[in-house]
């Protein structure tokens, strides 16, 4: 779990984007950790949300993830 | 069978927890409403009130006047919120463009859905709707409310929100329109702790499941829609609140093929009650219908004289597969040919009833977007038993999700993925054999793709060699 969390944060910090679809996080994590299962990655994301490292961004129809405080404000762009 | 709640239900007593007194709820006169003008000039909206139909503008004005006359400490968001909403709408009419921005990080802690951030892009002009978030509240199965519940929600929303609501959204939720970010957590607390109701789904997750009235009141329901809806809602809480799907996903549950919640047209996975034995016939009741002793259609169209009931014209000739006929004064049905259209059963409910070996048909891939690309569902499982604890259904759902989450692109619905990847591929993933029920009519079905191993002797094909002889 800790490994996955680290991989997610590394990916999110290194990307130029500030919001990510879950699928893009999944792909990036599987690049460094090919055995990581989708459900485990989802659980890691949820843990990051729960500890406040990451936040959801929702348009209402689709949802994305981002690092708290990094290019994500309360107001939409 | 009496209703037995699965967990202890708190009785909501409006009189004990109400926020507003009757005097506050009825705080203006008809005369005052007639002379009431909101603070913005809204000629086009005023015009909308003139038609023959009830108008949301009239409702919104009532709300605006009500808020004007409430005391300052009797509402927690801006008094002018409805007036500013109407003012901005008029500007949108003038300019032909919306001034709402949507999306953002608003939400309640731990949930990825249920609250949709909405903001005005003219906050200086309309300050009270600078934040105007939407909250979706999950409806009880089949929308069984009592007035205690509804009044409590209304009081809560007038106090902590704009008072504007939309019952119901397409997924069935109660849609509460317009509040500020600070109010979200208190609203969530009161809904969940005081009223035992959850907020619904939004974003890339499982949306609030919806079911028809089911066995609660309908004799045609072939399975307990409310029970299945509730069970899957509870079982898939994580999918409902923590979005990790490529896009939205909807379940809907219809108890019979009449489809009162239109699951076949609106849900990614549609569960429709059906039977696999024979339609039950009461020949005496058939005779009573023919003799005019019982009104057809359960009396639904009796407001006008339609003439004597003609079973040939009104039932037999309208059967889509022509599988019914009269023989020696008795109604006969070739059940193998029946496509479950429900017409005969709906016309003569006393004489005909669904069979007793009941279950669900599962269809996948419908969507009903506002702008383009509406698609009906495709039949996948012709028949499956639907009995608690529904393990067979859960197993099916998880196979579908696993494939869609793996293969689906961002913002791709299940129906779009099935079209892109082909139906045979989908069936392969589900480990289902192709079935005759998939074929709409002979020789017109596009879903047949052969694999080399399926064909005795296989084949070899050299595309370069082919192209040398056939230009593109």
Q: Give contacts of B98 with chain A, Cβ < 8 Å.
A: none
What are the residues whose beta carbons fall under 8 Å from the beta carbon of A13, sequence distance 6 or more? Answer: A67, A70
Do B329 and B375 belong together in one domain?
no
Shortest CA gap A43–chain B (Å): 9
DSSP A54: E
Do B328 and B363 belong together in one domain?
no
Contact at CB, A61 and B203, closer than 8 angstroms: yes
Residue B369 has pLDDT above 80, yes or no: yes
Residue B76 has pLDDT above 80, yes or no: yes
Q: Give contacts of B120 with chain A, Cβ < 8 Å.
A: none
Contact at CB, B113 and A23, closer than 8 angstroms: no
Residue from A39, A60, A65, A70 whose CB has the most chain B CBs within 10 Å, to mutate: A60
Which tokens is B394 given?
Answer: 């859960």
Q: Give contacts of B136 with chain A, Cβ < 8 Å.
A: none
Distance of CA B47 to the CA centre of its chain: 32
Coil, strand or helix at A72: coil
List the CATH number of the domain containing B189: 3.30.70.2500
Please compute the mean of the pLDDT values over residues A3-15 and round it to a whole number.
93
Contact at CB, A60 and B243, closer than 8 angstroms: no
Rg (CA), chain A: 12
Pick the closest to residue B270 from B242, B246, B245, B249 (CA basis). Answer: B249
Q: Where are the domains of chain A?
A: 2-67
Report the residue of chain A nearest B106, measured CA to CA: A74
User: pLDDT tens digits for B35-51?
Assistant: 999 999 999 999 999 98
Residue B449 has pLDDT above 80, yes or no: no
Peptide bond into B168 cis (omega under 30): yes
List the CATH number of the domain containing B316: 3.30.70.20
Please compute the mean of the pLDDT values over residues B309-327 and round it to a whole number.
96
pLDDT in the model for residue B440: 73
Tell me how far apart the alpha carbons of residues B112 and B199 are, in angstroms, rounded to a whole number.
Answer: 11
Of B202, B245, B408, the CB nearest to A58: B202
Do B393 and B348 belong together in one domain?
no
Please compute the mean of the pLDDT values over residues B235-248 and round it to a whole number.
94
Contact at CB, B202 and A60, closer than 8 angstroms: yes
Tell me how far apart the alpha carbons of residues B412 and B365 are, in angstroms, rounded to a whole number.
Answer: 11
Tell me how far apart the alpha carbons of residues B218 and B342 are, in angstroms, rounded to a whole number.
Answer: 14
Tell me the pLDDT band of B277, cut-offs 50, 70 and 90: very high
Do B27 and B142 belong together in one domain?
yes
Q: Give contacts of B205 with chain A, Cβ < 8 Å.
A: 63
Tell me the pLDDT band of B446, cut-offs 50, 70 and 90: low
Q: Give contacts of A63 with chain B, Cβ < 8 Å.
A: 112-113, 203-205, 243
Contact at CB, A58 and B101, closer than 8 angstroms: no
Do B291 and B328 belong together in one domain?
yes
Does residue B146 lie within any of the structural domains?
yes
Do B349 and B362 belong together in one domain?
no
pLDDT in the model for residue A72: 61
Does residue B114 lie within any of the structural domains?
yes
- Give the per-residue SS3 of chain B: CCCCCCCCCCCCCHHHHCCCCHHHHCCCCHHHHHCCCCCCCCHHHHHHCCCCCCCHHHHHHHHHHHHHHCCHHHCCCCCCHHHHHHHHHHHHHHHCCCCEEECECCCCCCCCCCEECEEECCCCCCHHHCECCEEEECCCHHHCCCHHHHHHHHHHHHHHCCCEEEECCCCCCEEEECCCHHHHHHHHHHHHHHCCCCECCCCCCECCCEECCHHHCCCCCCCCHHHHHHHHHHHCHHHHHCCCCCCCECEEEECCCCCCCCHHHHCCEEEEEEECCCCEECHHHHHHHHCCCCCHHHHCCCCCCCCCCCHHHHCHHHCCCCCEEEECCEEEECHHHCCCCCHHHHHCCCCEECCCCEEEEEEECCECCCCCCCECCEEEEEEECCCCCCHHHHHHHHHHHHHHHHHCCCCCCHHHHHHHHCHHHHHHHHCCCCCHHHCCCCCCCCCCCCCHHHCCCCCCCCHHHHHHHCCC
Q: Is B134:B85 a contact under the CB 8 Å cutoff?
A: no
Do B108 and B165 belong together in one domain?
yes
The count of domains in chain B is 3
Report the residue of chain B nearest A48, measured CA to CA: B110
Tell me the pLDDT band of B1, cut-offs 50, 70 and 90: low
pLDDT in the model for residue B455: 87
Tell me the pLDDT band of B301, cut-offs 50, 70 and 90: confident
Tell me how far apart the alpha carbons of residues A76 and B327 are, in angstroms, rounded to a whole number.
Answer: 69
Q: Give contacts of A48 with chain B, Cβ < 8 Å.
A: none
- Helix then strand count (H, E) for chain A reads 3, 2
Residue from A19, A24, A48, A63 whose CB has the most chain B CBs within 10 Å, to mutate: A63
Does residue B173 lie within any of the structural domains?
yes
Do B134 and B184 belong together in one domain?
yes
Tell me the pLDDT band of B80, cut-offs 50, 70 and 90: very high
Please compute the mean of the pLDDT values over residues B243-254 and round it to a whole number.
95
Residue B12 has pLDDT above 60, yes or no: yes
Do B286 and B405 belong together in one domain?
no
Distance of CA A30 to the CA centre of its chain: 13
Tell me how far apart the alpha carbons of residues B352 and B323 are, in angstroms, rounded to a whole number.
Answer: 14
User: pLDDT tens digits for B177-196?
Assistant: 999 999 999 999 999 999 99
Contact at CB, A62 and B248, closer than 8 angstroms: yes
Q: Give the CATH class of A2-67.
A: mainly alpha
Host domain of residue B414? 210-214+230-253+261-269+357-454
Do B91 and B119 belong together in one domain?
yes
Does residue B2 lie within any of the structural domains?
no
Please compute the mean of the pLDDT values over residues B11-30 and round it to a whole number.
95
Q: Give contacts of A66 with chain B, Cβ < 8 Å.
A: 105
User: pLDDT tens digits for B322-354?
Assistant: 999 999 999 999 999 999 999 999 999 999 999
Do B311 and B361 belong together in one domain?
no
pLDDT in the model for residue B9: 83
Tell me how far apart the alpha carbons of residues B192 and B146 are, in angstroms, rounded to a whole number.
Answer: 17
Contact at CB, A50 and B110, closer than 8 angstroms: yes
Contact at CB, B410 and A61, closer than 8 angstroms: no
User: pLDDT tens digits for B282-296?
Assistant: 999 999 999 999 999
Of B102, B105, B246, the CB nearest to A23: B246
How many residues comprise chain A? 77
pLDDT in the model for residue B436: 81
Least confident of B90-99, B197-206, B213-222, B448-457: B448-457
Of A56, A61, A76, the CB nearest to B112: A56
Q: Which residue has the tokens 């379940």?
A: B251
User: pLDDT tens digits for B110-161?
Assistant: 899 999 999 999 999 999 999 999 999 999 999 998 999 999 999 999 999 9
Contact at CB, A50 and B102, closer than 8 angstroms: no
Of B134, B203, B409, the CB nearest to A63: B203
Instruction: Please report which helix (H) or strand (E) contains residue A40, including its range.
Output: helix A38-50
Contact at CB, B103 and A58, closer than 8 angstroms: yes
Of A46, A60, A73, the CB nearest to B102: A60
Please compute the mean of the pLDDT values over residues B199-206 and round it to a whole number.
93
Does residue B157 lie within any of the structural domains?
yes
Q: How many CB atoms lie within 10 A of CB B446?
A: 8
Coil, strand or helix at A9: helix
Coil, strand or helix at A19: coil
What percent of chain B clears pLDDT 90, i.e. is strictly above it? 83
List the CATH number of the domain containing B442: 3.30.413.10
Do B346 and B377 belong together in one domain?
no
Contact at CB, B101 and A72, closer than 8 angstroms: no
pLDDT in the model for residue B340: 95
Please compute the mean of the pLDDT values over residues B442-453 and round it to a whole number.
70
Tell me how far apart the alpha carbons of residues B223 and A14 are, in angstroms, rounded to a whole number.
Answer: 51
Report the residue of chain A nearest B123, measured CA to CA: A75
Tell me the pLDDT band of B444, cut-offs 50, 70 and 90: low
Tell me how far apart the alpha carbons of residues B376 and B276 are, in angstroms, rounded to a whole number.
Answer: 23
Shortest CA gap B104–chain A (Å): 5
Please compute the mean of the pLDDT values over residues B216-236 and round it to a whole number.
96
């Amino acid at each position: 779990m800790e490994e996955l969390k680290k991989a997610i944060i590394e990916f999110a910090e290194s990307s130029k984007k500030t919001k990510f679809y879950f699928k893009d996080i999944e792909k990036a994590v599987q690049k460094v950790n090919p055995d990581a299962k989708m459900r485990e990655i989802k659980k890691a994301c949820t843990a990051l949300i729960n500890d406040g490292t990451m936040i959801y961004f929702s348009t209402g129809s689709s949802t994305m993830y981002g690092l708290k405080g990094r290019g994500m404000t309360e107001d939409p762009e | 069978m009496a209703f037995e709640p699965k967990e202890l239900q708190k009785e909501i007593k409006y009189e004990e927890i109400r926020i507003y007194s009757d005097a506050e709820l009825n705080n203006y006169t008809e005369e005052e409403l007639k002379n009431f003008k909101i603070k913005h000039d809204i000629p086009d909206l005023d015009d909308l009130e003139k038609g023959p139909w009830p108008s949301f503008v009239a409702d919104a004005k009532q709300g605006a006047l009500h808020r004007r006359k409430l005391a300052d400490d009797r509402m927690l968001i801006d008094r002018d919120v409805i007036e500013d909403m109407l003012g901005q709408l008029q500007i949108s009419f003038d300019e032909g463009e919306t001034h709402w921005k949507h999306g953002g990080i608003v939400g309640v802690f731990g949930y990825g859905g249920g609250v949709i951030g909405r903001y005005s892009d003219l906050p200086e002009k309309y300050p009270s709707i600078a934040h105007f978030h939407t909250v979706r509240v999950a409806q009880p199965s089949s929308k069984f409310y009592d007035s205690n519940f509804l009044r409590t929600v209304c009081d809560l929303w007038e106090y902590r929100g704009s008072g504007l609501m939309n019952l119901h959204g397409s997924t069935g939720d109660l849609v509460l329109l317009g509040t500020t970010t600070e109010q979200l957590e208190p609203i969530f607390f009161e809904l969940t702790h005081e009223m035992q109701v959850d907020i619904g789904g939004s974003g890339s997750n499982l949306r609030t499941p919806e079911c028809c009235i089911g066995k609660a009141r309908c004799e045609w329901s072939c399975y307990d829609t409310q029970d299945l809806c509730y069970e899957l809602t509870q079982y898939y809480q994580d999918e409902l609140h923590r979005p990790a799907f490529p896009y939205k996903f909807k379940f809907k549950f219809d108890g019979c093929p009449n489809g009162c919640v239109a699951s076949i047209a609106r849900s990614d996975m549609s569960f429709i009650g059906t039977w696999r034995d024979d339609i039950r016939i009461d020949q005496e009741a058939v005779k009573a219908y023919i003799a005019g002793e019982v009104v057809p259609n359960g009396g639904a169209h009796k407001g006008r004289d339609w003439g004597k009931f003609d079973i040939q014209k009104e039932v037999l000739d309208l059967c889509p597969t022509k599988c019914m006929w009269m023989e020696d004064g008795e109604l006969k049905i070739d059940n193998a040919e029946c496509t479950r259209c429900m017409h005969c059963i709906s016309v003569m409910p006393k004489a005909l009833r669904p069979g007793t070996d009941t279950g669900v048909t599962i269809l996948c891939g419908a969507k009903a977007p506002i702008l383009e690309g509406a698609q009906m569902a495709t039949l996948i499982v012709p028949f499956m038993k639907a009995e608690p604890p529904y393990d067979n259904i859960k197993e099916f759902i998880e196979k579908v999700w696993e494939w869609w989450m793996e293969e689906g692109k961002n913002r791709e619905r299940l129906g779009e993925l099935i079209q892109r990847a082909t139906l045979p591929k989908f069936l392969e993933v589900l480990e289902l054999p192709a079935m005759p029920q998939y074929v709409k009519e002979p020789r017109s079905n596009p879903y047949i793709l052969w694999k080399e191993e399926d064909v005795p002797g296989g084949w070899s094909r050299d595309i370069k060699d082919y192209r040398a002889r056939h230009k593109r």
